Amino acid sequence: MSEKTDKNLSYAFAAESKASARNMVFAQKAERDGYPQIARLFRAVADAESVHARKYLMLMRGKIGSTEENLEAAFQNEIKANVEEYPKLIREASEEGVTATERAFSQSRDVEDRHAELYKSAMNNMLADRQTDYYVCQVCGYVNEDEPPEKCPVCGAVKGKFKQAL
């Protein structure tokens, strides 16, 4: 595959991933605004965009390895986000006095750190053949193993705001 095709697949993957996330947020807004049919449409299109994104990712060379390699890559990506990317975003939001954005970036950084811990734990669990349930905070994205916590350690959301990952 040519370098140009690789670049185009990477671009398409990013665009479709963003479109999926954006349409899910549009669906939430439509639901709150009392338009359930429009919300269903946004969710359907979001799902379709996810199909496209997954297809492009699968076509990209070297992006999908063995499960062990994928866990290691995911672990390294979380560390990079935590150490290199979010500190800059937090600093710039702070410098501009955008408190809500600074708080969102800080929570995401903290959650990325947790994700890294979970990937490391999963590597060990895989070797021990241990099964684990995961619960995701729908406010900040924090992930807890085995059961939802009474209160999210990152954003303070109550237990009811956690959703079991399937």
Is 81 found in the same domain as 54? no
CA 96 vs. chain centroid, Å, equals: 26
- Domains identified in the chain, total number: 2
Q: What does the pLDDT average to over 56-67?
A: 86
Is 156 found in the same domain as 75? yes
Strand partners for 134: 145
Cβ–Cβ under 8 Å, residues 75 and 67: no
Is 90 found in the same domain as 48? no
Cα dist from 74 to 51, 118, 162, whole Å: 20, 10, 22
Asked if residue 1 has pLDDT above 80, the reply is no
Question: Residue 9 maps to which CATH number?
Answer: 1.20.1260.10
Asked if residue 48 has pLDDT above 80, the reply is yes
Asked if residue 51 has pLDDT above 80, the reply is yes
Is 150 found in the same domain as 79? yes
Asked if residue 65 has pLDDT above 90, the reply is no
Q: What does the pLDDT average to over 135-147?
A: 92
Q: Structural domain of residue 87, as residue ranges?
A: 67-164
| Cβ-based neighbours of 28, under 8 Å, separated by 6 or more | 39
Asked if residue 151 has pLDDT above 80, the reply is yes
Two structure tokens written together for 153: 């350690």
| Cβ-based neighbours of 11, under 8 Å, separated by 6 or more | none
Asked if residue 62 has pLDDT above 80, the reply is no
Q: What does the pLDDT average to over 7-12?
A: 94
What's at 25, amino acid-wise? V
Question: Residue 126 maps to which CATH number?
Answer: 2.20.28.10
Asked if residue 118 has pLDDT above 80, the reply is yes
Asked if residue 124 has pLDDT above 90, the reply is no
Q: What does the pLDDT average to over 94-98?
A: 95
Question: How sure is the predictor about 131, in pLDDT bands with cuts at 50, 70 and 90?
Answer: confident
